[in-house]
Structure 1
Amino acid sequence: MLLNAIKMDSYSLAGKPLKTHNFDQTLPAAHADYANEVFKSSYNLGFLGITEPLKELELENRLITKIRAFILELGKGFSFIGNQYRLEYNGKEYFVDMLFFHRGLRSLVAIELKIGSFKAEYVGKMNLYLSLLDRLEKSVDENPSIGIILCADKDHLDVEIALQDINKPIGVADYQLLLPKDELQTLVLNELHANEQQTKSSE
């Protein structure tokens, strides 16, 4: 939680965020500009109330149970299609963590959740998912599918080199798990109160 707090403060002090996507190179100009407006470089998942480490599937499940709040954090125009969305091709199965459709962009949006820092191999996996979505799911009147890799942390240079020769539109965003200040204070006070009660009952 302390690391998240430090990271969040660094965002408030930072200037214009660096681009961590390849939308300008992989989408038509007007579509790329709109995608730049739609997708953030960082998301606050504090509404999940997470105060301890968790696994990717647990993070996904918590987001599913609070899907309305997650869609509000993503922004306007998103419709939820499903989680662990199954794609089958050449006798093999693939599962996209979360699949959305954005009405304004007219694109399917695949989101992959990672509890650790960004790794270059995540881009190859997302590139495959987007190829399968475009081949199997995309309608003829829709724009190319877009992928967002949501990580606990990212390094801009690592992202830049990983996306350099990728021809599918992919963005990399990070997230914070801290609650807003007031809610975080209430949570901490409640936990302290609970600990005090437990201590008194054991005496």
Structure 2
Amino acid sequence: MTEVITKYEIGRTIVNVIQAGEERATYGKQLLKGVSKILTERLGDGWSVETLKRCRKFFTIFSTKEIGTTVMTQSSDSNLVNGVDQIQKITERPIKSTEKYSFTLSWSHYLVLMRIESDEERRFYEIEAQKQNWSVRQLQRQYNSSLYERLAISKDKDSIMRLAQEGQTVNKPDDIIKNPLTLEFLGLKPDASYSETKLENAIIDKMQHFLLELGKGFLFEARQKRFTFDEENFYVDLVFYNRLLQCYVLIDLKVDKLAHQDLGQMQMYVNYYDRYVKQDFEKPTIGILLCKEKKDALVELTLPKDSNIYAQQYALYLPDKKLLQAKLREWLEEQEE
């Protein structure tokens, strides 16, 4: 955390002292070249213009995270030499008290977050990275998979605002559904032919990645879980438990277009678990048909509204982020109308 705070204070000095409180001085590039040159002469390598730009951007974006201060406080010490002197002191005397700061991630995490233009989206990923203890690689993957857009689409405006304020909350079955579920990490080619068994094996081999994509609270229990009813054996492809919803989540894999028979079969699986497996304190079982292709009209016609069964498409490639962003904007406009 010391590195993050140091970078933040260097950014503050660049903005408030060297640039005299201006967020981005017209002569800022030349100033940073001068700062870079002097710091390199005094302290050695590691003080490129790009590094100083990142510090400045970090302060500009995250200055509201410092408790009890304003974003820009103009300083009378506005010359370059004084600014460089302050930066040198910051690097030579690490800040010991971190109480007035609320940074929780590493500098590498913040480098990823700073690339996100939307304040709401950036805040969502920051909250989730902290709560879920994401590595930098996991954060980058979740951003590349457009997790924010996939969760936000089809939510109302208030729920989208909560994503930015609280991150992903799991209070009801709808909260765990994303369309599509992105499974690019399986290594299966979208245009290749593969069986449900091959898809299942790929998921088992990459279970840690799959749990990350499923989201919060999921625990893996079994594959090809057998249960016997009326002297006949049935097998559920994947059985999970969600500790936040306190319920079983049954997943059946379909590599072809979803048929109404698939929905009926899942309804039977869910009924069995509700009647013979779940405990009285647990919530109703959720059934998910993970399919390559579905028709919403067929799903709506086949299932009752309170069925707790979802047809969820999956994709073997990362979604087009710009397309999802446009779709989200369109959805928000419809909500406002």
Q: Residue deviations 1:70-117, cap 9 Å, x none?
A: 111000100000000011122111100000000111110000000011
Written as runs of structure 1 = structure 2, the 5 A alignment for 1:122-141 is 122-141=262-281
Q: What secondary structure, in the 3-state scheme, does the structure 1 residue paired with 2:225 have?
A: strand
Aligned partners of 1:147, 1:34: CA distance in 2, in Å?
Answer: 13
Aligned partners of 1:33, 1:59: CA distance in 2, in Å?
Answer: 29
TM-score by length of 2: 0.43
Aligned partners of 1:57, 1:33: CA distance in 2, in Å?
Answer: 32
Higher-helix-fraction structure: 2
Computing the radius of gyration from Cα coordinates, the structure with the larger value is: 2
Match of 2:193 in 1: 53
Q: CA RMSD in A?
A: 2.3
TM-score by length of 1: 0.70
Q: What secondary structure, in the 3-state scheme, does the structure 2 residue paired with 1:76 have?
A: coil
Match of 2:240 in 1: 100
Written as runs of structure 1 = structure 2, the 5 A alignment for 1:137-156 is 137-156=277-296
Aligned partners of 1:166, 1:58: CA distance in 2, in Å?
Answer: 32
Match of 1:186 in 2: none
Written as runs of structure 1 = structure 2, the 5 A alignment for 1:1-203 is 16-17=153-154, 34-51=172-189, 52-163=192-303, 165=304, 167-178=306-317
Task: For 1:172, give the aligned amino acid.
Answer: A
Q: Which runs of 5+ in 1 are unaligned?
A: 1-7, 19-31, 182-203
Aligned-pair distance for 1:167?
5.0
Task: For 2:180, give the aligned amino acid.
Answer: S
Q: What secondary structure, in the 3-state scheme, does the structure 2 residue paired with 1:114 have?
A: strand
- Aligned partners of 1:47 and 1:179 also within 8 Å: no
Higher-strand-fraction structure: 1
Q: Which runs of 5+ in 2 are unaligned?
A: 1-144, 156-169, 321-337
Task: For 1:55, give the aligned amino acid.
Answer: S
Number of residue pairs matched by the alignment: 155
Aligned partners of 2:209, 2:265: CA distance in 1, in Å?
Answer: 27
Instruction: Give % identity.
Output: 34
